[in-house]
Amino acid sequence: MIAVVCPGQGSQKPGFLQPWLEDSESKAHFQRLSEAVELDLISYGTEADEETIKDTAIAQPLIVAAGIVAGRALQRTSGFDMSSAIFAGHSVGEITAAALTNVLSEEDAMRFIRVRATGMAEAAAQAPSGMAAVLGGTEDEVRQHIADAGLTAANSNGGGQIVAAGSLENLREFAANPPARARVIPLKVAGAFHTEFMSDAVQPLQEFAQGLSTADPVATLLSNYDGQPVASGEEMLESLMQQVTRPVRWDLCMATLLEREVAGLIELPPAGTLVGLAKRGMKGVPGTAINAPEDVAAAQSLLNA
């Protein structure tokens, strides 16, 4: 079994959509998704600078659209049977995974992410907050140090990496007094995602979700909540709403992938982060990052291995 993984916010880079526009089907696909989300994703993904696409309201739709387009391109050009894979997404990547497993239609997934991204951007603007990666240290000690600093362990990424989130003041004090044998690296994000700082973004999502139709996933789909497969489309949609303020347990997702003895990992664009985490947390499992149409060939060789 192959794992298809979808990255979260912070993985985007200026111009990262450019290679996909050389493929006419992919370009047309981006245009359809742009219409659904009412944003010029092609312009943002090819011409905008780093600061512009750092904006949560833009970054999240860009990332989801890129993953959907690349996933469908992989399916189209390689004949890859999506139902035979196991899917997981990190944070906003869960919406990508939900679309590729048909829990949500692509258009509804884009509309959902527009509401999510706008709500999270507005919540982030209400108070100065952020996130910082904590590398190394003993896990229990790191978690206690984070809690003692008035912060939240918002992302547990495995391989000795936990992301702390909270007020900028608390993050500065935390960085000045890091856990033993650990490094603290501030992240370029707009707010303390997956914490109570994002609580105001939940109600708009709940209201929007009332008009959505879901389907059960056509492939195994893991949840960030506990790393376990979701049972239904309704369960996944509920999890996606709660995920806004709930920590991401990517370490548990990787643990499940190891338990399922996946033969390899394919990361959809903007790719690299999750393959990197797998090198530490899933040692020995080969991974391929898809960032351009030509990368699909490398992914196909993994599928045929």
Q: Can you give the pLDDT at residue 299?
A: 81
Which residue numbers are catalytic? 91, 194
Q: Can you give the pLDDT at residue 36?
A: 96
What is the token pair recorded at 259?
Answer: 């338990």
Q: Give Cα 72 to chain centroid, integer Å.
A: 17
Q: How far apart are CA 186 and CA 193, in angstroms?
A: 14
Q: Can you give the pLDDT at residue 302?
A: 75
What is the token pair recorded at 100?
Answer: 């590729």
Q: Give Cα 105 to chain centroid, integer Å.
A: 18
Q: Can you give the pLDDT at residue 180?
A: 95
Contact 169, 197 (CB under 8 A): no
What is the token pair recorded at 249?
Answer: 């347990």
Site of tokens 């990424």:
157
Go through the domains of the chain in sequence order and give each one's CATH number.
2-125+195-303 (3.40.366.10), 129-186 (3.30.70.250)
pTM attached to this predicted model: 0.95
For residue 13, the SS3 value is coil
Site of tokens 């989801």:
64
Contact 233, 215 (CB under 8 A): yes
Q: Can you give the pLDDT at residue 270?
A: 97
Contact 106, 33 (CB under 8 A): yes
pLDDT digits (tens, 9 = 90+) for 264-296: 999 999 999 999 999 999 999 999 999 999 898
Q: Which residues of the chain have pLDDT under 70?
A: 304-305
Beta-carbon-side half-sphere exposure of residue 286 (alpha carbons within 13 Å): 13
pLDDT digits (tens, 9 = 90+) for 236-248: 999 999 999 999 9
What is the token pair recorded at 178?
Answer: 């890091």
What is the token pair recorded at 305?
Answer: 């291995």
Burial class (CB in 10 A: 0-12, 13-18, 19+), 204: middle
Q: How far apart are CA 36 and CA 95, in angstroms?
A: 15
